[in-house]
């Protein structure tokens, strides 16, 4: 038996179970056959659209907006159903316990039809919250840009850099874009920060260099007083698509690197630059992608060659797992690390200052925002663009502004 058969059987059972419970909820709440069968037809249409898209799209084109929309629709109708099944299955467990107790004690149970209708109404009401959130996330949430500002103090920051500002952006994923007006708004918002330095921490495309062709004129407008620097992300290497010839991948990678020059960024490939101000300087280092378990192209030692241990250092590395496993305890002392990559999974719940949760936290220890250990900091940018799911729910696209202060 092929190894994919068993997971497929499990997935089929789960889907049937979810659809059964959700249909039961509609059946308990409404007697209208039109509503019931409309629900079934919509669900069936979403599943058919997804599987047709998956099995027919050309992988040599990378992840297309059509594929992303099929994924988005699937999640939009599936996540709310999980809410329904949790509520109704919980009520079923309660029913079984009551029946078991009644059977043991020989007492008659009261009919629960009224309770079932109320629980179904409750389940559908709760499910409406993620449903509406996903619809908003696909239509508007992916453009709901947030400017997050941090002030970080360091004892060994050169005096000339007290008050120095850095704008960080990450994960543009230009192959996902469809609305030029909204992207222009995001770029204008970046420029409004008027920072000294602009740093881009990788993933300018999904896979192919030509995804950026229609957006170069927009991103070439990005401005910073004292320079713009960039690194590569895991998607910039073209590893996630099928290439007809090996040389096509090589040529694409070269073209991706050339994009950064076209939009005015200095691309650091395991390199460093010194940023000078009033006779003092800080070191800016940029490594190629280094991720735990895959694509460990980045060479931190090479990027640090020629940098002094006592220099104040800012490191750009796309994947935050690099900081966790190689950087934060390094005695060379990388004061501030800037990363991206996680997108915060583009879905979660955040109440600033109180609560932050996303499934991404179960994969990455540092998954969104600012973290500090051993007196060293990392900021994980939630990303400017979007990928796979064509929207954002609760985890909004981010523009980070960091002000350096002399402690």
The per-residue pLDDT for range 234-284, each reduced to its tens digit, is 999 999 988 989 999 999 999 999 999 999 999 999 999 999 999 999 999
For range 138-148, the mean pLDDT: 97
Please state, in angstroms and as integers, the Cα–Cα distance from residue 181 to each residue in 143, 188, 218, 357, 368, following that order. 10, 11, 10, 31, 27
What's the confidence (pLDDT) of residue 102?
76
Range of 5-9, 59-63, 91-95, 183-187 with top mean pLDDT: 183-187
List, in order, residues 6 or more apart from 141 with CB less than 8 Å away: 133, 391, 392, 393, 396
pLDDT value at 59 more than 90: no
What's the confidence (pLDDT) of residue 178?
93
Indicate the pLDDT class of residue 174, thresholds 50, 70 and 90: very high
The answer to whether the beta carbons of residues 384 and 144 sit under 8 Å apart is no
- Quick check: helix, strand or coil at residue 141? helix
pLDDT value at 111 more than 70: no
What's the confidence (pLDDT) of residue 4?
61
pLDDT value at 60 more than 80: no
What's the confidence (pLDDT) of residue 189?
98
Q: Which of 105-114, 194-203, 371-380 has the lowest mean pLDDT?
A: 105-114
pLDDT value at 98 more than 80: no
Rounded Cα distance between 259 and 204, Å, is: 9
pLDDT in tens, 211-229: 999 999 999 999 999 999 9
- Quick check: helix, strand or coil at residue 72? helix
- Determine whether 368 is exposed, middle or buried from the number of CB atoms within 10 Å of its CB (0-12, 13-18, 19+): buried
Indicate the pLDDT class of residue 30, thresholds 50, 70 and 90: confident
Query: 54 is written with which tokens?
Result: 């998956």
Q: Residue 149, by phi and psi: left (phi above 0), alpha (psi -120 to 50) or beta?
A: beta
Indicate the pLDDT class of residue 113, thresholds 50, 70 and 90: low
3 state SS for 252-300: HHHHHHHHHHHCCCEECCCEEEEEEECCEEEEEEECCCCECCECCCCCH
pLDDT value at 110 more than 60: no
What's the confidence (pLDDT) of residue 23?
82
What's the confidence (pLDDT) of residue 84?
87
Q: Which of 43-47, 89-93, 325-329, 370-374 has the lowest mean pLDDT?
A: 89-93
Indicate the pLDDT class of residue 109, thresholds 50, 70 and 90: low
pLDDT value at 306 more than 80: yes
What's the confidence (pLDDT) of residue 118?
84
**Higher per-residue pLDDT: 189 or 1:** 189
Calculate the average pLDDT of the chain: 91
Query: 115 is written with which tokens?
Result: 């309770």
How large a percentage of the chain has pLDDT more than 70? Answer: 96
Range of 18-27, 290-299, 392-401 with top mean pLDDT: 392-401
Q: Which of 113-127, 154-168, 227-241, 265-279 has the lowest mean pLDDT?
A: 113-127
How large a percentage of the chain has pLDDT more than 90? Answer: 70
pLDDT value at 3 more than 70: no
For range 365-387, the mean pLDDT: 96
Indicate the pLDDT class of residue 293, thresholds 50, 70 and 90: confident
- Domain 146-406: give its CATH superfamily: Metallo-dependent phosphatases (3.60.21.10)
For range 322-341, the mean pLDDT: 96
For range 166-188, the mean pLDDT: 97
What's the confidence (pLDDT) of residue 106?
64
Give the residue extent of every domain in the chain.
5-139, 146-406
What angle separates helix 33-56 from helix 5-29, to the nearest 10 degrees? 160
For range 351-357, the mean pLDDT: 89
Closest CA to 386 of 145, 217, 133, 82: 145
Sheet holding 197-200, edge to edge: 146-154, 398-406, 164-169, 197-200, 228-230, 266-267
The DSSP code for 353 is: T
Query: 187 is written with which tokens?
Result: 């770029």
What's the confidence (pLDDT) of residue 137?
97
């Amino acid at each position: 038996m092929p190894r994919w058969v068993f997971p497929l059987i499990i997935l089929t059972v789960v889907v049937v179970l979810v659809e059964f419970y959700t249909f039961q909820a509609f059946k308990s709440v409404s007697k209208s056959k039109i509503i019931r069968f409309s629900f079934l037809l919509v669900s069936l249409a979403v599943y058919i659209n997804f599987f047709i898209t998956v099995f027919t799209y050309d992988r040599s084109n990378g992840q297309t907006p059509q594929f992303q929309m099929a994924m988005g629709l699937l999640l939009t109708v599936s996540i709310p159903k999980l809410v329904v099944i949790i509520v109704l299955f919980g009520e079923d467990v309660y029913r079984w316990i009551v029946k078991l107790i009644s059977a043991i004690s020989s007492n008659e149970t009261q009919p629960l039809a009224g309770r079932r209708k109320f629980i179904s109404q409750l389940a559908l009401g709760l499910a409406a919250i993620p449903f509406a959130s996903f619809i908003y996330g696909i239509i508007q949430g992916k453009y709901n840009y947030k400017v997050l500002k941090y002030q970080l103090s360091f004892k060994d920051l050169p005096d000339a850099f007290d008050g120095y500002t850095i704008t960080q952006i990450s994960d543009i994923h230009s192959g996902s874009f469809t609305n030029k007006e909204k992207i222009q708004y995001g770029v204008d918002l970046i420029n409004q920060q008027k920072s000294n330095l602009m740093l881009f921490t990788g993933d300018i495309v999904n896979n192919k260099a030509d995804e950026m062709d229609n957006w170069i004129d927009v991103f070439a407008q990005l401005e910073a007083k004292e320079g713009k620097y960039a690194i590569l992300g895991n998607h910039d290497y073209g590893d996630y698509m099928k290439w007809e010839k090996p040389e096509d991948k090589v040529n694409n990678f070269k073209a991706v690197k050339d994009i950064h020059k076209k939009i005015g960024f200095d691309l650091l490939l395991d390199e460093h630059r010194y940023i000078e101000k009033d006779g003092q300087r800080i070191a800016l280092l940029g490594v190629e992608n280094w991720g735990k378990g895959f694509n460990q192209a980045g060479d931190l030692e090479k990027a640090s060659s020629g940098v002094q241990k006592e220099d104040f250092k800012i490191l750009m590395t796309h994947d935050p797992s690099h900081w966790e496993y190689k950087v934060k305890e390094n005695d060379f002392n990388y004061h501030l690390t800037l990363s991206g990559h996680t997108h915060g999974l583009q879905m979660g719940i955040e109440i600033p200052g109180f609560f932050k949760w996303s499934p991404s936290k179960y994969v990455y220890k540092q998954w969104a925002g600012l973290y500090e250990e051993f007196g060293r900091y990392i900021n994980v940018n939630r990303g400017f663009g979007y990928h796979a799911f064509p929207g954002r729910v609760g985890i909004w696209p981010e523009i980070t502004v960091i002000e350096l202060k002399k402690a």
